[in-house]
Structure 1
Amino acid sequence: MRATANGIEICYEVFGEPGGRPVVLIMGLGAQMISWPEEFIGLLVESGHRVVRFDNRDVGLSTHFTPADGDAPAPSYLLDDMADDTAGLMDVLGWESAHVVGASMGGMIAQALAIRHPARVRTLTSIMSTPGPRVGRATEEAMAALTAPAPQDRDGAIARALENARVIGSPGYEMDVERITRLAGEAYDRAFDPAGTARQFIAIRRSADRTEGLRGLSVPALVIHGEDDPLVTLEGGTATADAIPGAKLLTFPGMGHDLPRPLWPVIAEAITELTGRV
């Protein structure tokens, strides 16, 4: 489905029955909405939620901000604008407020949404994220993987996804080669735009630190982080939890910068416990 919100087109998908507790899932840098596993979403639906996932601007089937002249990918937007995209999508869905869950850059967007539109956020779950670019900085190897030259074709995109998973994935869990391969192929077929990912990365770098804004929140919050995350190190999660009054910090040994399948039930249960409090 498509919606016009905040001046752009947003591709989205809704799961669950009307009347369920509304949950907005926001994905990370360069990741399309299909990166949210349907099995994980199913766990949330079974727990009484109505869930929406969507493509952020500049990825997937949502609006891409390609310069007219095709030159450098300098963006005209910040994470705040992406938070406003999310609020706009909620308007289209008729959701005055929702439980907001963001992973990586999606966690940054979720934080910005709670700061800019506090009445729209019932609960906030920030996963493997950080309140600002100076906290939880990536290891050299992880940053090299993130900034490597873009692959040139479908096979290259799949190979890159597998290599990145080896570098930034969860060392305590077996790598799901089949899922990573399938997902990378589907993402390439839907929309392959490395320049869009670069624009999102620039938007992260240009956005202000959110620590002070988080300190002013009064929303129930859950912060989830891998203890072995090399891309946004654990410091990013602890700083987020320290900034939000009353936030719960949940960390997992062996978890890197991904969502290992064995943790899906645990994470879904933690989110459900949080949403059930409101």
Structure 2
Amino acid sequence: MESIQSRAAAFERDLERRNRRIGPHDWSFHVGGGGDAVVLLPGGAGIAIGWLDLAPALHLAYRVVAVDYPSTATTFDELADGVVAILDGEGIGSAQVVGQSAGGMLAEVLSQRAPDRVRSIVFTGTGLYGPEDESRLAARVAATDSTPWEQTRAAAREALRSAWKDSGEAEFWVECVDVAYQRSGQRGAANSLRCLLDLARRLPELQQQPAWQGPSLIVRADDDSLITGLHLQRLRELHPHSEFRPFSDGGHSLLVSRPSDYVATVTDFLNRHRGD
């Protein structure tokens, strides 16, 4: 496999970066390829470069849209509406959606708010937060708002190194997230947590509404320490007919720890549900 720096350069070369003002938020996203549309929703760091291994594998056969999240959004509803606006602007009627971690939670919200824009969903390293997460997330929001910013960034770097300790490319990803933190600032980092807190508080609403029941795939590593069995159970209950692909190991981000397996699993599903 090429170095991660070469793969990142290929991502930037193959996908054009675009910027758009949508409501009160400034969005950045990457577009490349042609054909059936696939939207890639990253995790909580909100960086499209996180898809640097999947996007190049798709762009020759699909029209890929990989988004960066605006640091000013405080709810998944705002993010979902922004994704819809991007689809509108790009002339895309509906798309297959891949969401990792917080991106999978966003995919769930998107499918409920705009079900006609979604043709399939791949949920990876994700589930649904609930009441048991509210106090923890509220404390993290408060701490992020009040702790000296450099101290927060240092703690985040160490947490990421611990989460990705088995990856030889961990330092690249730690640097990418830290650059995103510098760009979003202290308020932006707190806002990403506010999105998660809002979702946890609104869990009953999500569970009461009819869930989207199109083709879906849930991918999970058994040793994911961030998404609990209860989080996963809630998602599977909303999508009882979803395909399920477990891995015995790989942690929270299989795209980082097992990129070849991740790409093969996701592309196989997407290829079976093409719309063109």
TM-score, structure 1 length as denominator?
0.76
User: How far apart, CA to CA, are the structure 2 residues paired with 1:151 and 1:43?
Assistant: 40
Match of 2:114 among 113, 117, 122: 117
User: Aligned-pair distance for 1:265?
Assistant: 2.2
What pairs with 1:169-208 in structure 2 (closer than 5 Å)? 169=163, 173-174=166-167, 176-192=169-185, 193-208=188-203
Q: Tell me which residue corresponds to 1:39.
A: 53
Decide whether the 8 Å contact of 1:170 with 1:260 is kept in 2. no
Match of 1:84 among 81, 84, 87: 81
More helix by share: 2
Closer, same or farther: CA 208–240 of 1 in aligned 2, 3 Å: closer
Over residues 149-195 of structure 1, what are the superposed CA-to-partner deviations in whole Å (9 max), with x where a residue is unaligned?
Answer: 45623x862x333321255x267x33633213321343244332333
Deviates more, 1:260-269 or 1:217-226: 260-269
Q: Tell me which residue corresponds to 1:26.
A: 41
| Structure 1, unaligned runs of 5 or more | 66-74
Closer, same or farther: CA 174–105 of 1 in aligned 2, 3 Å: closer
User: How far apart, CA to CA, are the structure 1 residues paired with 2:174 and 2:203?
Assistant: 35
User: How far apart, CA to CA, are the structure 2 residues paired with 1:108 and 1:250?
Assistant: 18
Amino acid across the alignment from 2:27: I
Match of 1:229 among 189, 209, 224: 224
User: How far apart, CA to CA, are the structure 1 residues paired with 2:148 and 2:260?
Assistant: 33
Aligned: 1:219 with 2:214: yes
Closer, same or farther: CA 143–260 of 1 in aligned 2, 3 Å: farther
User: How far apart, CA to CA, are the structure 2 residues paired with 1:212 and 1:36?
Assistant: 32
Q: Tell me which residue corresponds to 1:242.
A: 237
Over residues 176-233 of structure 1, what are the superposed CA-to-partner deviations in whole Å (9 max), with x where a residue is unaligned?
Answer: 332133213432443323332343233223323433446x433100111221222221
TM-score, structure 2 length as denominator?
0.76
Match of 1:5 among 9, 17, 22: 22
User: How far apart, CA to CA, are the structure 1 residues paired with 2:212 and 2:149?
Assistant: 44
Decide whether the 8 Å contact of 1:129 with 1:232 is kept in 2. yes
> Equivalent residue of 1:11, what SS?
strand
Amino acid across the alignment from 1:211: Q
Closer, same or farther: CA 244–217 of 1 in aligned 2, 3 Å: same
Decide whether the 8 Å contact of 1:56 with 1:82 is kept in 2. yes
Amino acid across the alignment from 1:50: R
Closer, same or farther: CA 143–267 of 1 in aligned 2, 3 Å: farther
Q: Tell me which residue corresponds to 1:68.
A: none
User: Aligned-pair distance for 1:7?
Assistant: 5.3
Q: Tell me which residue corresponds to 2:160.
A: 165
User: How far apart, CA to CA, are the structure 2 residues paired with 1:235 and 1:223?
Assistant: 14
User: Aligned-pair distance for 1:268?
Assistant: 2.0
User: How far apart, CA to CA, are the structure 1 residues paired with 2:46 and 2:79?
Assistant: 14
Q: Tell me which residue corresponds to 2:12.
A: none
Q: Tell me which residue corresponds to 1:72.
A: none
User: How far apart, CA to CA, are the structure 2 residues paired with 1:119 and 1:103?
Assistant: 21
Closer, same or farther: CA 194–7 of 1 in aligned 2, 3 Å: closer
